[in-house]
């Protein structure tokens, strides 16, 4: 929306500049009998052709850009389908929004252009500058600078957020862990048979000298899926009509916490004794312990978990489950021997990940001919999905800010260049009367600096208000991050001053005698 706004503001500024250069032509049309309605229809038709041509080109570029966005998704053995194709609905929306915004912003300069100062324009013998139109064009440039400033701030916030996300402690140690989805196959007709196949896979992996820990889990943290559950804690029962207490649940085998280096703060881990037919047990995380047992030890307490009574045997440290941005929630671990699933992840902590990855398919086949392993990769690969939204957001924000700054730079260049051209005679006289190059440079760049300062001030105010909406999408970065705001201000100022460089160079190279003879 901001890029579209910047583009249409640029278009409006071009229309004002074009109207200034066509003021004598328009005045002649009026003098020869053209009505204001005739002029408005003609000018709107010209603008509509520009808008339609631009929207058509944009639709073509979008079909390529969609494939570029898909490049941010991790490659997987399991196909990930994300349809970003450009269809009729997208094209209709694009053309409709472009025509609507473009027509609204283009109508203001058109209304001014279509009402020329007839006598003054015709008497001047050349195109004349009307103060109101130049003021409108300066206002449009300030709006562009403000828009580009907001875009650069948003890009900076997402970029810093992405960097911070990579340094956030997820509560577990993924380095040195490989994960693979294991399907124990058709030979696992009962949970006992399935657990036996898992046990054989674990035995063969542990027999390797480069493996420190092996476990199984229904889900990997920050992976492609997670399961919800509910609990009823004595003394904290829900009132009639209220929903039970929601938790994130995971079914894991013994040594899961050790394999991921999640500290066990109190109690014990699951063992082979925690099998079907005995007392159901669970491990909870520290946030759950802190919420329901702030001054007591929950180990040994019995609660209802997913409809069955289970005893708490341990408290594990908090870790991220679904996303890096989530606050610490309530998490429950249940033993796989009491809730077996035929498909689960095997987690192997090793000091030689490549060798274990190569050996894993053979180990699974040796355990049972019907068992298969797929999506085998380092755990960092599995949890890379957690950063996909941030990577896409940062890339899109950066692309939009580049487009916005380029559009703003073009608008500023056009205004300063037009201003310099219109005042060539004045600049020549000043130079002839002894003005130094520095004074001429200050005069030319002063126009650009005033536009930059005004736009940046408005952009800063808008950024302070609007970026608060991004708070939920940022990792450890304030929407009012002073580094981002200062960096955006410096970046926009440098790029905008670069847009003034060429008009300033032309002003310094003016030949006073040649200009005055003209």
pLDDT digits (tens, 9 = 90+) for 331-347: 999 999 998 888 899 99
d(CA 403, CA 484): 18
| pLDDT at residue 74, rounded to an integer | 60
- Using 50, 70 and 90 to split pLDDT, how confident is the model at 128? very low
Mean of the pLDDT values across residues 209-224?
A: 89
Least confident of 17-26, 32-41, 395-404: 17-26
Least confident of 232-241, 316-325, 434-443: 232-241
| pLDDT at residue 24, rounded to an integer | 77
Question: Could you tell me which residue, 108 or 220, shows the higher pLDDT?
Answer: 220
| pLDDT at residue 132, rounded to an integer | 56
Residue 201, helix vs strand vs coil? helix
Mean of the pLDDT values across residues 209-219?
A: 93
- Using 50, 70 and 90 to split pLDDT, how confident is the model at 177? very high
Residues whose CB falls within 8 Å of the CB of residue 448, separated by 6 or more in sequence, listed in order: 412, 415, 416, 496, 497, 499, 500, 503
CA-wise closest residue to 283 among 272, 299, 294: 299
Highest mean pLDDT among 202-211, 370-379, 455-464: 202-211
Mean of the pLDDT values across residues 357-361?
A: 92
Contact 408, 144 (CB under 8 A): yes
> What's the chain's length in residues?
518
d(CA 470, CA 2): 15
Helices of type H across 219-352: 256-259, 286-292
Q: Of all residues in the chain, what percent are helix, strand and coil, respectively (each to 5)? A: 60, 15, 30
- Using 50, 70 and 90 to split pLDDT, how confident is the model at 286? very high
Least confident of 80-84, 314-318, 358-362, 482-486: 80-84
Mean of the pLDDT values across residues 102-119?
A: 71
In degrees, rounded to 5, the angle at the alpha carbon of residue 448 between the alpha carbons of residues 447 and 454 is: 95
d(CA 137, CA 113): 12
- CA–CA distances in Å: residue 402 to residues 73, 136, 274, 500: 23, 25, 58, 18
Q: What percent of the chain has pLDDT over 70?
A: 92
Mean of the pLDDT values across residues 189-209?
A: 90
| pLDDT at residue 129, rounded to an integer | 46
- Compute CA 143 distance to the chain's CA centroid, rounded to the nearest angstrom: 24
Mean of the pLDDT values across residues 141-168?
A: 84
Mean of the pLDDT values across residues 142-165?
A: 85
CA-wise closest residue to 275 among 198, 372, 368: 198
pLDDT at 204 over 90: yes
Half-sphere exposure at residue 508, Cβ-oriented, CA atoms within 13 angstroms: 13
| pLDDT at residue 224, rounded to an integer | 63
Half-sphere exposure at residue 319, Cβ-oriented, CA atoms within 13 angstroms: 25
- Using 50, 70 and 90 to split pLDDT, how confident is the model at 116? low
Mean of the pLDDT values across residues 155-173?
A: 83
pLDDT at 100 over 60: yes
Residue 339, helix vs strand vs coil? coil
CA-wise closest residue to 100 among 2, 3, 8: 8
Least confident of 38-42, 74-78, 414-418: 74-78
| pLDDT at residue 262, rounded to an integer | 94
Q: What is the mean pLDDT of the chain?
A: 84
Mean of the pLDDT values across residues 286-304?
A: 93
| pLDDT at residue 206, rounded to an integer | 92
Rama region for 267: left / alpha / beta (φ>0; ψ in -120 to 50; rest): left
pLDDT at 418 over 60: yes
d(CA 12, CA 18): 10
pLDDT at 241 over 70: no
């Amino acid at each position: 929306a901001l890029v579209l706004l910047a583009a249409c503001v640029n278009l409006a500024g071009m229309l004002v500049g074009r109207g200034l250069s066509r003021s004598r032509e328009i005045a002649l049309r009026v003098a020869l009998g053209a009505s204001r309605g005739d002029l408005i229809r003609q000018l709107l038709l010209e603008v509509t052709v520009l808008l339609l041509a631009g929207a058509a080109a944009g639709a073509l570029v979008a079909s390529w850009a969609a494939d570029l966005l898909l490049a941010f998704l991790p490659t997987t053995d399991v196909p990930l389908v994300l349809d970003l194709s450009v269809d009729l609905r997208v094209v209709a929306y694009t053309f409709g929004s472009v025509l609507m915004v473009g027509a609204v912003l283009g109508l203001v300069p058109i209304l001014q252009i279509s009402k020329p100062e007839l006598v003054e324009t015709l008497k001047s013998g050349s195109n004349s500058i009307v103060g109101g139109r130049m003021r409108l064009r300066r206002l449009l440039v300030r709006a562009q600078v403000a828009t580009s400033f907001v875009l650069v701030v948003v890009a900076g916030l997402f970029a810093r957020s992405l960097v911070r996300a990579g340094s956030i402690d997820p509560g577990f140690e993924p380095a040195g862990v490989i994960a693979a989805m294991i399907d124990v196959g058709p030979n696992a007709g009962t949970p006992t048979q399935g657990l036996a196949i898992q046990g054989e896979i674990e035995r063969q992996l542990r027999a390797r000298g480069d493996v420190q820990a092996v476990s199984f889990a229904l889900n990997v943290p920050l992976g492609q899926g997670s399961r919800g559950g509910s609990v009823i804690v004595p003394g904290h029962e829900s009132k009639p009509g209220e929903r039970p207490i929601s938790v994130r649940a995971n079914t894991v085998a013994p040594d899961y916490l050790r394999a991921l280096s999640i500290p066990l703060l109190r109690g014990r881990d699951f063992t082979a004794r925690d099998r079907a037919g005995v007392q159901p047990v669970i491990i909870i995380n520290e946030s759950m312990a802190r919420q329901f047992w702030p001054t007591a030890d929950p180990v040994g307490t019995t609660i209802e978990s997913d409809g069955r009574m289970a005893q708490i045997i341990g408290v594990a440290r908090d870790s991220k489950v679904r996303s890096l941005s989530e606050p610490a929630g309530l998490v429950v671990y249940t033993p796989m021997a009491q809730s077996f699933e035929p498909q689960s992840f095997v987690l192997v902590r090793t000091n030689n990940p490549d060798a274990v990855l190569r050996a894993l398919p053979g180990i699974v086949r040796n355990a049972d001919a019907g068992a298969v392993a797929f999506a085998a990769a380092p755990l960092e690969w599995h949890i890379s999905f957690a950063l996909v939204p941030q990577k896409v957001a940062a890339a899109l924000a950066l692309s939009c800010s580049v487009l916005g700054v380029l559009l703003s730079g073009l608008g500023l260049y056009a205004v300063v260049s037009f201003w310099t051209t219109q005042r060539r005679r004045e600049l020549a006289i000043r130079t002839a009367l002894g003005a130094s190059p520095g004074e001429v440079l200050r005069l030319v760049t002063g126009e650009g600096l005033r536009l930059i300062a005004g736009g940046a001030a408005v952009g800063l105010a808008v950024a302070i208000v609007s970026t608060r909406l991004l708070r939920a999408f940022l990792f450890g970065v304030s929407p009012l991050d002073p580094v981002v705001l200062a960096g955006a201000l410096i970046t926009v100022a440098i790029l905008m001053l670069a847009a003034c460089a060429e008009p300033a160079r032309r002003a310094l190279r003016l030949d006073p005698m040649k200009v005055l003879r003209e």
